[in-house]
Amino acid sequence: MKATGIANTNIALIKYWGNRNHQLSLPYNSSISMTLDGMHTVTSVEFSKSFKNEVIINGIQAKSEEQQRVIDHITLIKKKLNIDVLLNAKVVSNNNFPKRAGIASSASAFAALTIAAVKALEKELTSQELSILARLGSGSASRSIFGGFVEWEKGEAEDGSDSYSTVLAEKEHWPELTMIVTIVNPQEKKIGSRDGMQHTVRSSSFYSAWRATIEQDLQQSRNAIYTKNFTELGTVVENNAFKMHSLMHTSIPPLIYWEPETIRMIKQVLNLRQEGIECYITMDAGPQVKILCLQKNVETILGKLSQFKEMHQYYVCQPGSGAQITDVHLF
Ligand code: PMV
């Protein structure tokens, strides 16, 4: 059977950066995200014994490393579901935004792949089970199974059975909250988040400080979401992102995802705030700057930033839906 999944990406408001069990993607801390409307991956999967494993991403054959990661994930899903491992897969996947540029393309990619593969194998799983499976492909993908505001629980169990995501608030709870994702440097990153975070855990002396303050950040962010307190949310989100980048910068050798354009964009956003336009910064494992704001200020912010030549492209996203199966296949 052929099946197709569509998943929106998500941006962490409170970040995940480091695993207590790397193989199972079991994080040191819980994280909170907003699923983004309109930035998505669509993935079709079909299984057959007569196929060779084949992975096509954005119209071209995937590089061997990328292909391997996809096939490994599918093999793991088949094993978990007790399905003949000899069934091979054809996977075709399209993203409507740049991949590996620090805008969480692996979150939407592994969420869409997981739901499509499970459906193509004719199995029905709960959202919780899908979130656990997606987590094994990429930690942040566990959050993209759900829409709105999502918390990925770090869990305690050694086998990862309690490390999955749940919905904190549906997307309708706070539709005015907006994430502007700016692309200031569209190149693919050289160090992926999986390797980067382990390097940080091993070598940054700030990691213990990160762990000491994360519960407070999570609690503040949950409260701010529940009460729709934008100033409180923006303040903790921005501070948490800068703390994560401080971990990266204090790794040995330092891990610097920022480019000169990143700093210039950071300054622009801080200037906007000084001018009285309330907006906050978050950033992930890449040079792109994301701006958290309220819908009423989007036009003014974009107007100011349009004078800024480094902004190649941007996406304006409201809280979006969780991953879904669709009948529109890519092959
Ligand atoms: O799950 P990964 O390997 O895509 O790592 C995600 C890391 C960050 O995007 C930087 C933070 C997060 O929580 O999404």
* DSSP, residue by residue, 166-182: EEEE-GGG-TTEEEEEE
Query: 193 is written with which tokens?
Result: 């988040």
* Residue nearest atom 8 of ligand 1, based on CA coordinates: 284
Q: Is the minimum distance from the CB of 106 to ligand 1 under 6 angstroms?
A: yes
Q: Is the minimum distance from the CB of 237 to ligand 1 under 6 angstroms?
A: no
Q: Is the pLDDT of residue 269 over 80?
A: yes
Q: Is the pLDDT of residue 132 over 80?
A: yes
* Percent of the chain residues past pLDDT 90, beyond the cut: 91
Q: Is the minimum distance from the CB of 35 to ligand 1 under 6 angstroms?
A: no
pLDDT of residue 189: 72
Question: ∠28-219-159 over CA atoms, to 5°?
Answer: 30
d(CA 142, CA 138): 7
Q: Torsions phi, psi of 21, nearest 5?
A: -135, 110
- Of 284, 288, 289, 290, the one to substitute when testing ligand 1's pocket (max ligand atoms within 8 A of C-beta) is 284
Residue-wise pLDDT for 114-125, tens only, equals 999 999 999 999
Kindly give the residue spans of alpha helices, DSSP state H, lying in the chain: 64-80, 105-120, 127-137, 141-144, 193-203, 207-227, 230-249, 260-274, 298-305
Q: Is 205 exposed, middle or buried (0-12, 13-18, 19+ CB in 10 A)?
A: exposed
What are 33's strand-pairing partners?
A: 12, 150
Q: Is the pLDDT of residue 99 over 90?
A: no
Give the distance from CA 246 to its chain's centroid. 20
In ligand 1, the atom with minimum distance to the C-alpha of 25 is 1
Distance 25 CA to ligand 1 centre (A): 11
SS3 20: strand
- Averaged confidence pLDDT in the chain: 96
**The pTM of the whole model exceeds 0.95:** yes
pLDDT of residue 101: 66
φ/ψ region of 31 (left if φ > 0, alpha if ψ in -120 to 50, else beta) reads beta
